[in-house]
A and B are shown apart, each in its own frame.
Chain A
Amino acid sequence: MNKDINLINQETQKNLLYLRFRNKIQKIAFFLSIFFIVLSLLVLIFYIYSGNDLKKKGEKTAVLKTEINKLSKNESYLFTINNRIGGVRKTLENQKKISKVVSNLIVLYESGFIYETLEISSSGTLELSGTCDNNQILSNVVNQIEKIKNDGLFSSIAYSKVTGSVNGKYILTLDVKI
């Protein structure tokens, strides 16, 4: 029957095991220290690099801001334009252009229509009354009003009163929506 005989005594074996363990620990400690020293150096280098990068970008931003400030007049003009253009546009859109309506209606006076009143209210309703000597003028008046409507100045016309008197005069009252 074969039997292994251990020539190294137990004490020496213990010592050898201890030495191996110690060496392992020392190696781990050595590599860990190297690893962390390198890591620390890398972190430090990256930190310095990032700091410099940020500084450079900060300087570039400052230069750009200075350049923009030199052109601040252009910017304030542009800002003023954008600030006002909407308001001006809206104001003009809401303007009823009453002068245009009056100019178109006053033509009737030149063709013989004698105005009594011409009134345009804030709601955009126009009341017109006046007299004319003959049927022809009345016809011209009606045609002119129709023409103005077709030009798009009036949205609706209602002849509220057209009366003729014995002396050949006609009185016309109408409501027009601008």
Chain B
Amino acid sequence: MKKLSLTVILKDFLIPFIILIAISFLLVLFLIPKFNEILSIRKDIQKKDIEIEKLSQKLADLQTLSEAELYDMSTLLLSALPTKNDYYGILSSIRKSALDNNVILTDFNLTPGIVDDSDKPSGNGAVLSSSFDLSFSAPDVSFKDFLTSIENSLPLISIKTIKIETKTSTESASFTNFTGEASIDSYFLGLPTFLGSTDKPLQKIDNNDKKFIDELKNYSVPVVKTDVTSLENVIVGKENPFPF
């Protein structure tokens, strides 16, 4: 049997020592980083699973929707609440109602201010309004139909104040003429700039909403300014994808 010496001891323990050193290096340089990477990948996979679930649900929901029906509804709502203050459209609508009901528009007074063609989003999504005044005269009570007509037409407007007076031409031949002054509010609402992320859940419309939109169909749309051809090429996620 060989005698124990330092050289023999070192020789015998050199391989295990090298193995331990190699394992330590393996742990530090390979296993721990890879293990961390695996943890990170698993987290990403979990996120992807959630995203896939959301996207699948959204896709299924989108596939159930009718494009034609949605187009009709959105066009109707855009007619009711335009993206910008369309004075000309509203005045044309009022003028048409006046002509149809034998009412003469004697005067109108509006202050359009800066006319901006861009469909800027209206801040917090609140409906904006602007007022204008108009005067009219009518030979008979037909002005009531005129008022009904303008309140039941799109874009939506509200008569805020009204003053109607009767004027009799002469005492002997009492031709009564009605004159009126009304202050009218028109409304508009800008479109939001972004649709949101693709995996954002779809905000569906319920039956109450559909019923409400159906009721809007009873309103007349004297001036339709929506350009149907511009409704092509809508891209999700891009700036202002709205074709209107």
CB neighbours (8 Å) of B80 from chain A are 84, 88, 91
Complex A-B, nearest 4 residue pairs according to Cβ-Cβ distance, in ascending order: A29-B16, A77-B70, A99-B147, A64-B55
8 chain-A/chain-B pairs, Cβ below 8 angstroms: A29-B19, A32-B20, A50-B41, A73-B71, A77-B70, A84-B74, A89-B212, A95-B158
Classify chain B's interface size.
35 or more
Check if A85 sits within 8 Å of B209, measured CB to CB: yes
B114 at the interface (CB under 8 A from A): no
Chain B residues proximal to chain A, CB less than 8 Å: 1, 3-4, 9, 12-13, 15-16, 19-20, 22-23, 26-27, 30-31, 34-35, 37-38, 41-42, 44-45, 48-49, 51-52, 55-56, 58-59, 62-63, 65, 67, 70-71, 73-74, 77-78, 80-81, 125-127, 141, 143-145, 147-148, 150-152, 156, 158-166, 176, 178, 183, 187, 189, 191-192, 195, 198, 202-205, 209, 212-213, 216, 231, 234-236, 241-244
Q: How far is the CA of A14 from the CA of B209 in the complex (A)?
A: 94
Check if B70 sits within 8 Å of A78, measured CB to CB: yes
Q: Per-residue CB proximity of A4-25 to B under 8 Å, as 1/0? A: 0000000110110010001001
CB distance from A120 to the nearest CB of B (A): 5
A142 at the interface (CB under 8 A from B): no
- B interface: dominant SS: helix
Interface size of A by Cβ–Cβ distance < 8 Å?
76
Nearest B residue to A16 via CB reads: B1
CB distance from B125 to the nearest CB of A (A): 7
Which of A41-49, A132-140, A148-156, A166-174 has 4 or more CB atoms under 8 Å from chain B?
A41-49
Known contacts A50-B41, A69-B235, A85-B213, A102 near B242 by CB under 8 Å: no
CB neighbours (8 Å) of B81 from chain A are 84, 87-88, 91
* B77 partner, pick from A18, A54, A80, A130, beta carbons under 8 A: A80
Name the residue in A12, A73, A82, A100 with the highest tally of chain B Cβ atoms < 10 Å from its Cβ: A73
Q: How far is the CA of A82 from the CA of B15 in the complex (A)?
A: 73
CB neighbours (8 Å) of A60 from chain B are 48, 52
Chain A residues proximal to chain B, CB less than 8 Å: 11-12, 14-15, 18, 22, 25-26, 28-30, 32-33, 36, 39-40, 43-44, 46-47, 50-51, 53-54, 57-58, 60-61, 64-65, 67-69, 71-85, 87-92, 94-100, 102-103, 106, 109-110, 114-122, 130
